[in-house]
């Protein structure tokens, strides 16, 4: 059995993680440019100043994508590379880079899937208040129109934002990610509401500005719980934990998704966050809830649960020695079956996995190759579960492996390698890993050989 004939196979990256050229050709600074200079913020003092040097080596990288057999490539635009101050003045050299990259992809038969925001918020707008500023959603809409005006004659697949749980929660609540803020809950929820408004206004801008029919989606983390055994009670417990809000944190789904897809904040969340809720102005929820074509989900792992004696979800701890990736995330292939299934049931849209993969212990062997057998096994297990969801009728649009190439892994610097392509950061040399060649065979069979 294979996936549907129109299923899309790709890989993903993000601008700050691979581009480099952080201060070249008129690019403005992002909050990650700022924070990576703070001693101790990123492991080993690493920065994205050079990263994979994709800004100058993009043609070589597109040829590697072609060699791996990618049908699609999910990239992100660096907002401050295009608008150095975040609004107003356009940096034509920055736009020209994305022009050339899109053309190069299309010339090589690779369909670009463009993410407008993957965490590199303009530093100049951060200084004005960032996501806390009441105009922040309008700033994002202006940026969206600039990108759509230039690229929508060739780009027909768009994502507004990537992983709001991370750039808001880790960036504005725990301070682990840029901009490194530890806001109070009221301020955090205000930033979240403004970010959701920005998503809605970006969708409106794309619909109004696109020069051809397009598909628009949203790519949050799909935080998945799954039943330890598939009894009706355990399935319901897994669903309740996946979509419930029981305490005031940020690792949750519905606070970021229900407004986007259902036009309202979840009732349990409104109760939990009641002391800190921002003002929700007339028309806000209508702005946030714009028609979307599918739901992108970033899923790497999940949590096994069962129904407790009272029927409430009960987390089952992983056994001692349970498989883990190098970044210490558990290996739970079931999450790529249960996650797409449950999110489709709740929101009614087709699903696309926009990130999935692992950090592994990769290096170039004496024979000049990178033998990453664990990545092959990991992807094989997860894709089989994803195919099981497809076999049961869950509408699946595609799969994007994270990531196409090793890159700057945010606060972990260059210590984690997620790529299908190995990057030697000393000289920039690229080497397709065994997993990249295996992935090509999966694409060629449309998953039939899994």
**Residues marked as catalytic:** 163, 355
Element (H, E) at 111: strand 111-117
Planar angle of CA 19, 22, 24, nearest 5 degrees: 105
CB 21 within 8 A of CB 415: no
**Rounded Cα distance, 21 and 26, in Å:** 10
What's 219's DSSP letter? E
Query: Beta strand 302-307 with 421-423: parallel, antiparallel or unpaired?
Result: unpaired
State how far the Cα of 158 lies from the Cα of 118, in Å rounded to an integer: 12
Neighbours of 49 (CB within 10 A): 14
With contact defined as beta carbons under 8 Å apart, do 432 and 421 qualify? yes
Q: Are 81 and 94 in contact (CB under 8 A)?
A: yes
73 pairs with which residues across the strands?
A: 11, 112
The dihedrals phi and psi of 76, each to the nearest 5 degrees, come to -120, 155
Identify which of 290, 293, 289, 114 has the alpha carbon closest to the alpha carbon of residue 215.
Answer: 293
Q: How far apart are CA 370 and CA 94, in angstroms?
A: 34
Which tokens hold the place of 396? 């699946």
Fill in the DSSP letter of residue 367. Answer: T
Residues pairing with 111 in the sheet: 72
Quote the longest CA-to-CA distance of the chain.
64
**Long-range contacts formed by 136-139: CB under 8 A, 24+ apart:** 136/194, 136/195, 136/198, 137/194, 137/195, 137/197, 137/198, 137/200, 137/201, 138/201, 139/86, 139/87, 139/198
How far is residue 85 from each of residues 28, 140, 246, measured CA to CA in Å? Answer: 7, 12, 39
């Amino acid at each position: 059995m294979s996936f549907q004939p129109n299923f899309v196979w790709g890989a993903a990256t993000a601008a700050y993680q691979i581009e480099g050229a952080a201060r070249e050709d008129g690019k403005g600074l992002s909050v990650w440019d700022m924070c990576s200079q703070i001693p101790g913020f990123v492991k080993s003092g690493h920065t994205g100043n050079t990263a994979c040097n994709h800004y100058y080596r993009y043609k070589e990288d597109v040829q590697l994508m072609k060699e791996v057999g990618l049908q699609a490539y999910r990239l992100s635009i660096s907002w401050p590379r295009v608008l150095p101050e975040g609004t107003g003045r356009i940096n034509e050299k920055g736009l020209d880079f994305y022009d050339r990259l899109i053309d190069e992809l299309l010339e090589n038969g690779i369909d670009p899937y463009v993410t407008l925001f993957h965490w590199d918020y303009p530093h100049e707008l951060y200084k004005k208040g960032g996501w806390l500023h009441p105009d922040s959603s309008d700033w994002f809409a202006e940026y969206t129109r600039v990108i759509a005006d230039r690229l929508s004659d060739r780009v027909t697949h768009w994502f507004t934002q990537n992983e709001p749980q991370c750039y808001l929660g880790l960036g504005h609540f725990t301070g682990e990610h840029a901009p490194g803020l530890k806001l109070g809950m009221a301020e955090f929820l205000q930033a979240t509401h403004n970010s959701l408004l920005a998503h809605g206004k970006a969708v409106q801008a794309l619909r109004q500005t696109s020069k051809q029919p397009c598909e628009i989606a949203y790519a949050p983390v799909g935080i998945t719980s799954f039943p330890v055994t598939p009894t009706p009670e355990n399935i319901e417990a897994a669903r309740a934990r996946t979509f419930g809000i029981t305490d005031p944190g940020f690792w949750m789904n519905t606070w970021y998704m229900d407004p986007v897809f259902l036009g309202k904040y979840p009732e349990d969340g409104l109760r939990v966050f009641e002391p800190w809720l921002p003002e929700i102005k007339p028309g806000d929820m209508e702005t946030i809830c714009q028609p979307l074509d599918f739901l992108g989900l970033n899923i790497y792992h999940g949590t096994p649960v069962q129904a407790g004696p009272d029927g409430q979800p009960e987390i089952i701890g992983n056994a001692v020695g349970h498989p883990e990736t190098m970044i210490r995330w558990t290996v739970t292939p079931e999450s790529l079956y249960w996650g797409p299934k449950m999110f489709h049931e709740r929101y009614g849209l087709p699903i696309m996995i926009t990130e999935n993969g692992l950090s592994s212990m990769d290096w170039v062997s004496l024979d000049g190759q990178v033998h990453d057998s664990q990545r092959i096994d990991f992807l094989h297990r997860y894709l089989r579960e994803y195919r099981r969801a497809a076999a049961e009728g869950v509408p699946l649009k595609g799969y994007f492996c994270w990531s196409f190439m090793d890159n700057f892994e945010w606060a972990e610097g260059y210590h984690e390698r997620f790529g299908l392509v190995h990057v030697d950061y000393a000289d920039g040399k690229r080497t397709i890993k065994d997993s990249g060649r295996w992935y090509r065979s999966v694409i060629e069979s449309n998953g039939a050989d899994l």
